[in-house]
Amino acid sequence: MPWPVYLALKHLFPTGRRVRAASGWRALILAVAVSTVSFIALLGFLWWRGVFSRLWDQAPSFWPLAGQFSLVWLYLTLGALFVAVVFRCTPFFNAMSIFGIMLGVTVLITVQSVMNGFSSEYEEVFIKTQGHLNIYGDGPINNPEEVAQLARSVPGVKLAEPVIYGRVMLRCNGTPAFPLVRSFDVNTPGLPRNPLADTLVAGSIDDLDDQHILLGRGLADQLGAHLGDKVEVYTMHMFDQIKKDAVPLPRELIVAGVFDTGFAMYDENTAAVTLRLLRELDGLTNEAGNIEVRLDNDDMGHLLDVKAALEKQLAPLNQKRHAAGDNVTLSVYTWQEMNQDQLQILFVEKSVMFYIMIVIVIVAAFCILCSLATSVVRKTREIGVLGALGARPSQVAAVFCLQGLLIGLVGALLGVGLSLILLHFRQPIVEAFVDQRLLIEFYKFYSFPVQYRTLDFVKIIGFTFVISTLAGVLPAWWAARLKPAECLRYE
């Protein structure tokens, strides 16, 4: 092992009495005391926030709740013991630098993984509810079955069905709601099942016909509707008939199922009926609003290839329809293009939070700089001895640069471990401090999503290595400029 590396390790983790003391009873007693005080403070905070009453209502009995709090105290004790060992194994300033890097990496990975989770959940919801591709016209699409059949002939297309969306008023048990209703083409034989059918938590898609309706989970809760209940449906076409002095009666439908996509905003504002029924309710004959296209996989490259092939197939169809007097031009849009604004907002939020949280790592780098600068002052005599023994200035500088790199390495590894632990227990932590209703109201998801991406880990750890190494450059340059004769003279 090169001696600069050995000296860097020796200074970061000195051996001898300090390490032996790290495993002694003093560290254990200190850890238990600190964890107990922290646990009591946590209990006081939970009581002040009113979390105790909510947890007590959710717990089946006293002992499961007591067991959970015992685990919390145990985790706090293990964490405090780990901190005590680190502070006993390495000098104080080095330990503070390591924990600074650890906290910075923890925050960065946690924030990025949670934001990735939200982005992934939104993407999954968009694909699940809207399809991979959609064929729209600059007006209602006439004879949509022809367009759908053409789309199904393109390789890679799993399902293509005409869809109509419309705003309706539903009334059940005297409670009104104004959701968006979409159609399912269940009357055409041979079509694969729409993926939304797999989100049903009550009822069956096989029960959906012209006399039944599917409700989103949140919408069913708003209306107080259950399977078998009757729901009155009012459409804009009915109100147009009222203007013509007609008195249309509401259409009564039976609740055949409840779906749960996991996205509260969609589930609270969406219902589904058959395509034939929605055409009848809206006074349409053979039109559709768009053609929903679903592919056999979610690969982005495959999506773009299918879009290009579909546009190539639609070009002669547009010319044929224009020649026949139909001036509606058909165009293909991906789910990213249809939801560009929401995806851009998520990207901006993730980027801004990354650049804000990265300040923590930069602050920790200043701690490393101060620690190494203090080390240069304390090790002035040793630096002089190394110079007198023939060490080159670059080798002396390498000792301090390597110390910064090692501090960054240890802090990054600890930060990755802590972030994985926090993300694993994210749901209980969030529910302990935040009411789940607020999570649903503001973020529209029933659970806290997370997704790990290797690229984010590589970027964060790489940046930590670079900033930690650069933090040791100034002290290393200072140490390299010291003259051995002057160091030994003043010491």
Rounded to 5°, angle at Cα 180 from 179 and 184: 130
Closest by Cα among 485, 471, 474 to 383: 485
For the cut 70, the answer to whether the pLDDT of residue 226 exceeds it is yes
Q: Which residues pair with 293 in a beta bridge?
A: 133, 160
The answer on pLDDT for 294 being more than 50 is: yes
Instruction: Tally Cβ neighbours within 10 Å of residue 333.
Output: 17
Looking at residue 363, its pLDDT comes to: 83
Predicted confidence band at 343 (pLDDT cuts at 50, 70, 90)?
confident
Residue 349's pLDDT is: 83
Tell me, what's the pLDDT at 82? 74
Q: Above pLDDT 90, what percent of the chain?
A: 6
Q: 46 in the Ramachandran plot: left (φ > 0), alpha (ψ -120 to 50) or beta? A: alpha
Distance CA 171, CA 223 (A): 7
Q: pLDDT tens-digit profile of 240-266?
A: 776 666 667 788 999 999 998 877 788
Rounded CA-CA distance 179/214 in Å is: 12
Q: Is the pLDDT of residue 21 over 50?
A: no
- Evaluate whether 94 touches 161 at the Cβ level (below 8 Å): no
Tell me whether strands 251-259 and 212-216 are parallel, antiparallel or unpaired. Answer: parallel
The pLDDT assigned to 100 comes to 85
Average model confidence (pLDDT) for the chain? 80
| pLDDT tier for residue 440 given thresholds of 50, 70 and 90 | low
Higher local confidence (pLDDT), 441 or 422: 422
Instruction: Return d(Cα 442, Cα 440) in angstroms, integer.
Output: 6
pLDDT at position 58 is: 63
| Rounded-to-integer distance, Cα 273 and Cα 211, Å | 9
Contacts of residue 361, Cβ cutoff 8 Å, sequence gap at least 6:
101, 104, 105, 108, 463, 464, 467
| Residue found by looking up tokens 């006074």 in the block | 283
- Say how far apart CA 115 and CA 118 lie, in whole Å: 5
Rounded Cα distance between 70 and 201, Å, is 35
Convert the pLDDT of each residue in 274-284 to its tens digit.
Answer: 888 888 888 88
* Neighbour tally for 96: CB within 10 Å: 17
Summarize pLDDT for 31-58 with one digit per residue, the tens. 778 778 887 887 787 777 666 666 666 6
Distance CA 433, CA 325 (A): 62
pLDDT of residue 441: 59
Confidence of residue 432 (pLDDT cuts 50, 70, 90): low
Q: Is 257 helix (H, G, I), strand (E, B) or coil?
A: strand
Instruction: State the CB neighbour count (10 A cutoff) for residue 478.
Output: 16
Confidence of residue 3 (pLDDT cuts 50, 70, 90): low
Whether residue 103 is predicted with pLDDT greater than 70 in this model: the reply is: yes
CA 59 to chain centre: 28
pLDDT of residue 33: 82
Alpha-carbon distance 84 to 31, whole Å?
Answer: 7
The token duo for 38 is 């922290």
What mean pLDDT is predicted for residues 390-396?
Answer: 76
* Model pTM score: 0.74
Q: How many CA atoms lie within 13 A of 181 on its CB side?
A: 25
Decide if pLDDT at 22 tops 50.
no
Mean pLDDT in residue range 80-91: 73
Give the length of the chain.
Answer: 491
How far apart CA 194 and CA 144 sit, in angstroms, is 17
pLDDT at residue 310, rounded to an integer: 92
